Structure 1
């Protein structure tokens, strides 16, 4: 079952349809403005779908009526519209999909509210910000130990073949 459809619901509620739409518009605008956001995983995952679709739509150009309607609805501020068309569109002109990156952070606890939240960072690819740290694999897992041993055997066999 896809992550976005638990128990037959096609999308997350986020407090009702009006609040959900307002929240998503705010997150889409903030992501276009700042190019990186830290929020909960659920909000970041939902925002990712809308931002990628919006960038696909902007490829139609400013002269397209559908493109203008969607951009005016999702990005009402003129500064973000200019950034969308003049900065992000040329950056992603060669890309066909996947304009964003979603990195899951460790869980956190708010002592006052006693709530646990799965946090995530969503960013636009190719942004000028410093890169996010990449999670390295554990070298002591069974798979990684076996792969390292196989690589050593392979290197040893290749070096013996070259000597003979």
Structure 2
């Protein structure tokens, strides 16, 4: 029985899973965004976010622990350099998972996992937008009411307009009504 074993093994041995998550974490830190399956992204989030939290305090001990997870000097430099600069005031939630649909070959659910503070498109949306002006339907209704009260002759011409509707099969009847009411 597997009571209490809650994390996803991803169909791999422990060493393969550790190597895969290490490589994916290094790629995420270096490239700021990677495309993968949803299950791998959820496990990667659990793997990367504690490392980013640890990187907020730049000590030799924290660098060595991060290196034991990532095994990539360039990723360590990026993590303790540019990544920490942007996330220093964030209390957690450093990654975002965006679902992108299903893979064609095996129908696996695909997604993009990215570092939150590095997506310029999402950061632009966070800025307040201009207020949109409201359009009132009242002005359009008022314009219709004035034309009805203004032209009592149009009611007398209504039977002629009906006859022209019957004769016009191509949809030009509306333009005939407009010219007669003016």
| Same fold per superposition (TM over 0.5) | yes
Does the CA contact (< 8 Å) of 1:38 and 1:122 recur in 2?
yes
- Residue 1 of structure 2 is aligned to residue 9 of structure 1: no
Residue 82 of structure 1 aligns with which residue? 77
Q: Which runs of 5+ in 1 are unaligned?
A: 1-5, 135-155, 157-164
Does the CA contact (< 8 Å) of 1:29 and 1:74 recur in 2?
no
Residue 105 of structure 1 aligns with which residue? 100
Q: Kindly indicate which of the two structures has a greater share of residues assigned to helix.
A: 2
- Matched positions, count: 124
Q: Which runs of 5+ in 2 are unaligned?
A: 126-137, 139-182
Residue 26 of structure 2 aligns with which residue? 29
Kindly state the Cα deviation for residue 7 of structure 1 after the two structures are TM-superposed. Answer: 6.8
Deviations 1:117-158 (A, max 9, x none): 011110001215655xx9xxxxxxxxxxxxxxxxxxxxx9xx
Matches within 5 A, 1:67-146: 67-110=62-105, 115-127=106-118, 130-131=121-122
RMSD over aligned Cα, in angstroms?
A: 2.6
Deviations 1:12-54 (A, max 9, x none): 1131111110110011001001000110000001001111110
Deviations 1:67-113 (A, max 9, x none): 13321112222221111111011111111111111111212321xxx
Divergent runs of 4+, >4 A: 128-131
TM-score when normalising by structure 1: 0.67
Structure showing greater Rg: 2
TM-score when normalising by structure 2: 0.61
Residue 159 of structure 1 aligns with which residue? none
> Hey, what's the Cα distance between the residues in 1 that align with 2:87 and 2:55?
10
